Amino acid sequence: MTIREGNLQAPTRHPLDWRNPEFHDEAALFKELERVFEICHGCRRCISLCGAFPTLFDLVDESKTMEVDGVAKADYWKVVDQCYLCDVCYMTKCPYVPPHPWNLDFPHLMLRAKAYKFRKGHVRARDRMLTSTDAVGKLATIPVVVHAVNKANRMPAVRKVMERTMGVAADAWLPTYAAKPFRKAVPPSLQWPIRNGVRTPGKVAVFSTCYVNYNEPGIGHDLLKLLDHIEVPYVTIAGEACCGMPKLELGDLESVEKLKDINIPLLAPLAREGYAIVSPVPSCTLMFKQELPLIFPEDADVKAVGEAMFDPFEYFVLRDKDGLLEREFKRPLGKVSYHIPCHSRVQNVGQKTREALEWVPGTTVTTVERCAGHDGTFGVKREFYADSMKIGKPVFQRMAEPEPEYISSDCPIAGRRIAQGITQSGAPEPRRAHPLTLLRIAFGIE
């Protein structure tokens, strides 16, 4: 068979074969790592995407043979540890993804290696803590605790101790915890009639996410206000748990399954009743749209939820295309530097947030489509903090350049990291607002 360079067919993604014992077999894993590293060494397209590829290529170039066979197997982990599963190398760069016969899925191979490591117990207490978003959020938002936690997280002396004892980078800006979590203050939806469009269901179920619930409930409230404004009735999901993305990044597939077993029975009936399920955090949306269906391909409920899932701006833009969204704006936004996070890019829905922000008269949007370097918990870990800031630097510069009225990212965690990067370059702290907040402001909704 002739193997062509590149791949003209649409990429397809194979399910993750994680229940197969070979998936967790050390020899099979290292054989596959070597095979894929050899292809990447010959290609090197992904050099600028993250730290994983430069780490691999440096290991090869500094080895005796200057080939992958000269790299010590123990050093393979250095590559794996630099991958935060953003999926960008698979979705936007790699010409050897299926259906190409080389069948290369770099992020899923990194996930397999992380799962192997997790099963072997090679995981730090810090990483278990950082990925337990629900447990930490519940604890940190206890009324008498929340102010103390927020204060402590801002005290350099406390942060130095946290860095020494827990490995949480002292300089990384951490999110504040909300005195009133989102799910404890959800206003009831107005009773709008259900108007289904060709592209959009006329009722929405909001999967609020841990981050919005515990850290930035205002984003969730802005989403609800926007739904009311465009006359779409909503429900929220009592009993929702973390989507599982942080545990996936740790390679803890058993915890991913446990969380799936909480969320999917709550969401699948809503999907089948014709709700659009909307989540305001791109990583959580991606988890339901793409990752869970690949991890549980036999589960019809997971598939139904994945198919009902929308990014909020995907929903708004399609609602507009359905002729069911009134575009009457009251306030211009001026100059907006808008960042598209990796987990929005790989949803393959186009630049829907940019499109919606550009509806607003008197608004100029500068779009930056590049990794901001935070990537889940990667950017707050002591050993990766400097790498993370380096990855984000071009984004910080380009976002600051137009001297915008607002900086904004669909990913609120990336937005905070960008604000930190801009501030550390000596500029004043920029005004940061989530795109949902910007749209609410533009509509003149209080």
Residues near ligand SF4 (CB under 6 A) are 39-40, 43-46, 49-50, 52-53, 83-89, 93-94, 96, 104, 106-107, 110
Angle (CA) 439-443-444 rounded to 5° is 115
Q: What are residue 9's phi and psi, to 5 degrees? A: -85, 155
DSSP symbols for 88-147: HIIIII-TTSTTSTT---HHHHHHHHHHHHHHTT---HHHHHHT-HHHHHHHHTSHHHHH
Q: Could you identify the residue written with the tokens 């800006």?
A: 173
Phi, psi of 202 (to 5 degrees): -90, 10
- Kindly state the smallest distance separating residue 84's Cβ from ligand SF4, in Å: 5
CA separation for the pair 15, 95 (Å, rounded)? 19
Instruction: Give least dist CB 111 to ligand SF4, A.
Output: 9
Q: How far is the CB of 21 from ligand SF4 (least distance, A)?
A: 25
Give the nearest distance from C-beta 107 to ligand SF4 in angstroms.
4
CB nearer to ligand SF4: pick between 43 and 161? 43
Q: How far is the CB of 97 from ligand SF4 (least distance, A)?
A: 7
Q: Say which residues have a Cβ less than 8 Å from residue 2's Cβ, sequence separation at least 6.
A: none
Class of residue 256 by CB neighbours under 10 A (exposed 0-12, middle 13-18, buried 19+): buried
CB of 93 to ligand SF4, least distance (A): 5
Sign (positive or negative) of CA dihedral 38, 41, 42, 45:
positive
Of the two residues 178 and 391, which places its CB atom closer to ligand SF4 in the complex?
391
Residue 40 beta carbon to ligand SF4: minimum distance, rounded to whole angstroms = 3
Q: How far is the CB of 115 from ligand SF4 (least distance, A)?
A: 14
Contacts of 439 (CB under 8 A, 6+ apart): 222, 226, 316, 356, 357, 360
Question: Count of alpha carbons within 13 Å of 99, Cβ hemisphere only?
Answer: 3
Nearer to ligand SF4 by Cβ, of 45 and 154: the residue is 45
What is the chain's alpha carbon radius of gyration, rounded to the nearest angstrom? 22
User: Which residue number, 208 or 388, has a Cβ lying nearer to ligand SF4?
Assistant: 388
d(CA 122, CA 140): 27
**Count of beta carbons in the 10 Å neighbourhood of residue 39:** 14
Question: Which helix (H) or strand (E) is 332 found in, with range?
Answer: none
Q: In which order are the strands placed within the sheet that holds 334-339?
A: 363-368, 334-339, 406-409
Cβ proximity to ligand SF4: between 90 and 182 the closer is 90
Q: Which is nearer to ligand SF4, 308 or 342 (CB)?
A: 342
Q: At closest approach, how far in Å is the CB of 360 from ligand SF4? A: 32
Closer by beta carbon to ligand SF4, 35 or else 331: 35
Query: How far is it, in rounded angstroms, from Cα 175 to Cα 185?
Result: 20
Compute the least distance from the CB of residue 251 to ligand SF4, in Å: 13
Report whether 33 contacts 39 (CB < 8 A). Answer: no
Q: Give 48 or 425: the residue with its C-beta nearer to ligand SF4.
A: 48
Q: Which residues fall within 8 angstroms of residue 74, CB to CB, at 6 or more apart?
A: none
Q: Which is nearer to ligand SF4, 106 or 214 (CB)?
A: 106
> Residue 52 or residue 333: which is nearer to ligand SF4 going by CB?
52
